[in-house]
């Protein structure tokens, strides 16, 4: 039985060499994990294993209750960090498939790229960045989640892709380059759709030259961005958009920052969210003072708070700072204990 199962993995690895682009990252040639695996069921490639490890993690499940742009949305149709992640994965796989790159590695990176994001979206990230001595960056925290907090023992290529999905980093694989573009394509387009739904903008408000180039239609705009990446990356070692396409993507992103991301309507609750994060950080920092060294505490508190969902952060704030009957008080859950154990 084990011999037959092992053959399945070998066939999948051989299929990669026969079908994938010469530039694709082959799972058999992975640079490996920190620790060797101890698993007799050889029916998946190494990158398939990484994808499944991330998909079954607790931090992945918590993404469903973390903000993308609109804080703690009650409208079920607004994106959360989880639906954003799934859209990134879909776009990235479409590009990877067209370029004959490794879809499994691409999907693993996509699913893991935002695991370290805080509650309340970029508002939460910027607040922790202000509070921490060395700042806070969600891509670095995502790596900490997979390497320390949940100790997934992922392949080096997957960890590198998670680290470098943020612009300003240089990915080591074409699959990670795909995720960089897919992340930006996804959030620009779904944030436009959510902003239209929220009544903050209409599609006709978008810059005229961007509408002319991409279309005001969501589906057409998304398709053009994706096909631009594919058309300019086929049979090449580097994944990239055309200069013209990248110009209009960047212009559209800048317009979204001015008219949505920093819009007073969209960000009306940010002051409250910042206060929640700041209050929790200060409370747990003071609480741990008698028990841990000064330089250990910021990381413990960061691991705990960055793992919180929007609603859990609100519940902890209410429990700690708002009077309520004793029976309603909640104990700190395993998230804080895990943060302390992995300081």
What domains lie within the chain, and their CATH numbers?
A: 46-261 (1.10.3210.10)
Q: Is residue 109 a contact partner of residue 172, using CB atoms and an 8 Å limit?
A: no
State the average pLDDT for the chain. 91
CA-CA distance, 291 to 213, in Å (whole number)?
59
All residue ranges of the chain with pLDDT < 70 are: 1-6, 72-74, 263-267, 325-333, 343
Find how far residue 33's CA is from the centre of its chain.
21
Three-class SS state of 68: coil
Q: What is the pTM of this model?
A: 0.92
Reported as a single tens digit per residue, the pLDDT across 92-123 is: 999 999 999 999 999 999 999 999 999 998 88
How much is the pLDDT for 1?
43
How much is the pLDDT for 74?
63
How much is the pLDDT for 143?
98
How much is the pLDDT for 260?
85
Measure Cα distances from 155 to 89, 108, 196 in Å: 18, 10, 40
CA-CA distance, 113 to 62, in Å (whole number)?
14
Measured in degrees and rounded to the nearest 5, phi and psi for residue 167 equal -65, 145
């Amino acid at each position: 039985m084990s011999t037959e199962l092992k053959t399945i993995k070998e066939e999948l690895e051989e299929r990669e060499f026969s079908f994938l682009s010469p530039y694709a990252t082959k799972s058999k040639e992975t640079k490996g994990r920190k620790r060797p695996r101890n698993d007799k069921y050889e029916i998946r490639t190494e990158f398939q294993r990484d994808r499944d490890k991330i998909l079954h993690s607790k931090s992945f499940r918590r993404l469903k209750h973390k903000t993308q742009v609109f804080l703690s949305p009650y409208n079920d149709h607004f994106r959360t960090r989880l639906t954003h992640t799934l859209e990134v994965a879909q776009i990235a796989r479409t590009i990877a498939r067209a370029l004959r790159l490794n879809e499994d590695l691409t999907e693993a990176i996509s699913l893991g790229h935002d695991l370290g994001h805080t509650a309340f979206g970029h508002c939460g990230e910027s607040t922790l960045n202000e509070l921490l001595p060395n700042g806070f960056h969600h891509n670095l925290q995502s790596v900490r989640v997979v390497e320390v907090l949940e100790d997934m023992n992922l392949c080096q290529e997957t960890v590198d892709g998670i680290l470098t999905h943020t612009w300003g980093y240089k990915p080591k694989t074409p699959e990670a380059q795909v995720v960089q573009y897919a992340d930006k394509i996804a959030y620009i387009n779904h944030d436009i759709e959510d902003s239209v739904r929220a009544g903050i903008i209409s599609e006709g408000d978008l810059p005229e030259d961007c509408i002319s180039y991409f279309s005001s239609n969501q589906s057409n705009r998304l398709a053009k961005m994706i096909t631009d990446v594919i058309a300019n990356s086929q049979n090449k070692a580097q994944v990239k958009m055309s200069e013209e396409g990248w110009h209009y993507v960047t212009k559209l992103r800048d317009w979204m920052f001015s008219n949505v991301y920093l819009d007073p309507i969209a960000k009306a609750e940010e002051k409250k969210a910042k206060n929640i994060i700041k209050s929790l950080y200060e409370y747990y920092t003071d609480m741990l003072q008698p028990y841990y060294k000064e330089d250990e505490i910021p990381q413990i508190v960061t691991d705990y708070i960055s793992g919180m969902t929007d609603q859990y952060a609100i519940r902890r704030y209410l429990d700690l700072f708002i009077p309520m009957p004793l029976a309603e008080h909640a104990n700190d859950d395993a998230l804080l204990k895990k943060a302390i154990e992995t300081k």
